[in-house]
Structure 1
């Protein structure tokens, strides 16, 4: 059987359109994941900076022992890790 030229071009066009749509949907998904990772990193870094400054303030105020200040820092960092997990999922 010999196909007409129009039928072959139409089938090729449909296949190219489908391939382009698939490629674009994958790119959009990758972009969304990238933004989530960046937001997660920012949340984690903010928690680290906050924990450092809280520990310095805690030690300067001399209200708690050094181990209690360390535990406060750990708790703050853990909160940042949890925030990061919440962003990513």
Structure 2
């Protein structure tokens, strides 16, 4: 009878440990996915910064518009990049 009780406790302990490991792995998967989304958003923002610089330089080189209009073009480009990054993250 003592062996049966010991075996039941051992099985219960194994099931509990397995459940804890499964729950822990699910949490890691979620954290990893969020990290990937943050990285992708950061990459988009960095690419956008360079793109907005190029937009302003091209605008000023063309000398077709005022400097304030070039600034607005740069701001608009950056805003679009930020929105794209938000769409990736959320």
Q: TM-score, normalised by structure 2?
A: 0.94
* 1:46 counterpart SS class: helix
Count of matched residue positions in the alignment of Structure 1 and Structure 2: 88
The aligned residue for residue 52 of structure 2 is 51
Question: Shift in Å at residue 52 of structure 1?
Answer: 0.2
The aligned residue for residue 41 of structure 1 is 42
The aligned residue for residue 13 of structure 1 is 14
Question: Shift in Å at residue 88 of structure 1?
Answer: 0.6
d(CA) in 1 for partners of 2:25, 2:63: 57
Q: Deviations over 1:22-60 (max 9, x none)?
A: 100000000000000000001111111100011011101
**5+ unaligned residues in a row in structure 2: which ranges?**
none
d(CA) in 1 for partners of 2:30, 2:59: 43
Question: Shift in Å at residue 5 of structure 1?
Answer: 1.1
d(CA) in 1 for partners of 2:48, 2:77: 6
